[in-house]
Amino acid sequence: MRIIVVGAGKVGTALCRSLVKEKHDVILIEEKEEVLKQASKRYDIIGLVGNGANFKILEQADVSECDIFIAITDKDEVNMISAVLAKKMGAKETVVRVRNPEYSNTYFKDKNFLGFSLVVNPELLAARYIANTVEFPNALSVEGFANSRVILMSFKVTDKSQMSGINLENFRKTFGNLLICVIERQGQVFIPDGETIIQTGDKIYVTGSRVEMLLFHNYIKAKAIKTLMIVGAGKISYYLLHTMKNTHIKVKIIEVNQERAQLFANEFPDVPVVLGDGTAKNVLMEERAFDYDAVATLTGVDEENIITSMYLESHGIQKNITKVNRTSLLEIIDDKEFSSIVTPKNIAVDTIMHFVRGRFNAQDSNLEALHHVANGRVEALQFEIKENNKMAGQTLSSLELRQNVLIAAIIRKGKAIFPTGEDTLQVGDKMIVITLAQNISHVYDLLKR
């Protein structure tokens, strides 16, 4: 497809990389010439220097021939104006990034009076991800499918874990419908079979219904988060507090900027807001950070978040949540038992790529969800089986699936089924697939050619 991207920031460049990898024709519009040169050279794409809300620049980019127009600069207003203009000029679909809380109202979210195909708010998505992580503190990551009827969680297997040393066949007998669908071991990722033995140090990805996953989560270690400290009063923190407002978790925020600290104090009168540098050792000790069940380090500087989290980890914080946008830094942080990394950039790119792939589908299937796990090496996908789908009516054992493809669950009339080879796919089913294959756009891509 022909796709125009406006903005070569962190999300924009990461998106261009994913789009080029999936062989789309990409035109990148960016005001800063040097930034544009670096991005267009790195990803072999066409670059245009200029303002994405400029009529002449859009004409130059042949926006009338564009399949998807994506405005993802750091200015919400520029994104919205350029997308409205692109739509008027003939772009088939428009995607915009809108981050400002002032635009989080029903006119933008529900009524969508500007007619955008998709509105992406990376900070809001990251806040929801963190809220899930707080709800399931024993898990390293939490992803939901079919309105969270099916949950995919990852756990670190320690030498104290009761799971270490058992094979997957016995695991299934013990935990019923739960399925270990991916194992990350010593830098390698694979889909296990029934004979695979869980080892100390493994990072396992487990899927099941929400209720069964909650029971398994508590089996790992009975732990609930009752107190949370947030370092950094940015947009993610703002959305996180609104997301958690109906919970009983006691929250404290530390913010170094006086204006932002005052804004949060006014907006959230029931939340203690401390003016200070939450990445400084003496401030953390003074505010008794080590007494909190969880600490979320959400400042705008990745390195500060990482160093602070490493310091907190060394003092035995039960749950450590760290915001990191520069994925090259992720190798610095070792996967501890209860540490979670949140990467807003990746969450936003996954959301947009899900939309792009969905527009690439035929009428017999529909890609409804896309998540990358295991540092992007595994795709977790949700497809709806439509009437003309040739897989409908067939047993799973009769399907000739590609190597490293696992059908983890089927949602049928709102009920989760964790299938065996004798189960069949039916029209209307939502099929959840785990695969090591990349760039799956269509349900038939899961089959052998």
What is the spatial distance between Cα 164 and Cα 85, in angstroms, rounded to a whole number?
Answer: 57
Provide the pLDDT for residue 208.
Answer: 93
CA atoms within 13 A on the CB side of 235: 15
Are 279 and 215 within 8 A, CB to CB? no
Nearest to 297 by CA among 335, 323, 273, 325: 323
Nearest to 36 by CA among 48, 44, 53, 19: 48
pLDDT-derived band at 336 (thresholds 50, 70, 90) equals low
Range with lowest mean pLDDT among 96-105, 134-143, 238-247: 96-105
Q: What is the pTM of this model?
A: 0.88
Task: Specify the DSSP class assigned to residue 152.
Answer: E
pLDDT in tens, 258-274: 999 999 999 999 999 99
Provide the pLDDT for residue 189.
Answer: 95
Range with lowest mean pLDDT among 64-68, 211-215, 334-338, 344-348: 334-338
Percent residues over pLDDT 90 in the chain = 68
Are 399 and 203 within 8 A, CB to CB? no
Are 226 and 293 within 8 A, CB to CB? yes
Taking residues 149-178, report their average pLDDT. Answer: 89
Provide the pLDDT for residue 440.
Answer: 85
Res 90 pLDDT > 90:
yes
Nearest to 201 by CA among 218, 188, 215, 216: 188
Res 121 pLDDT > 90:
yes
What is the spatial distance between Cα 84 and Cα 214, in angstroms, rounded to a whole number?
Answer: 43
Res 435 pLDDT > 60:
yes
Taking residues 222-237, report their average pLDDT. Answer: 93
Q: Which of the two residues, 388 and 378, has the higher pLDDT score? A: 378
Strands 273-275 and 250-255 come out as parallel
- What does the mean pLDDT of the chain come to? 90
What is the spatial distance between Cα 326 and Cα 345, in angstroms, rounded to a whole number?
Answer: 8
pLDDT-derived band at 102 (thresholds 50, 70, 90) equals confident
Res 338 pLDDT > 70:
no
pLDDT in tens, 285-301: 999 999 999 999 999 99
Res 221 pLDDT > 90:
no
What is the spatial distance between Cα 310 and Cα 330, in angstroms, rounded to a whole number?
Answer: 12
pLDDT-derived band at 162 (thresholds 50, 70, 90) equals confident
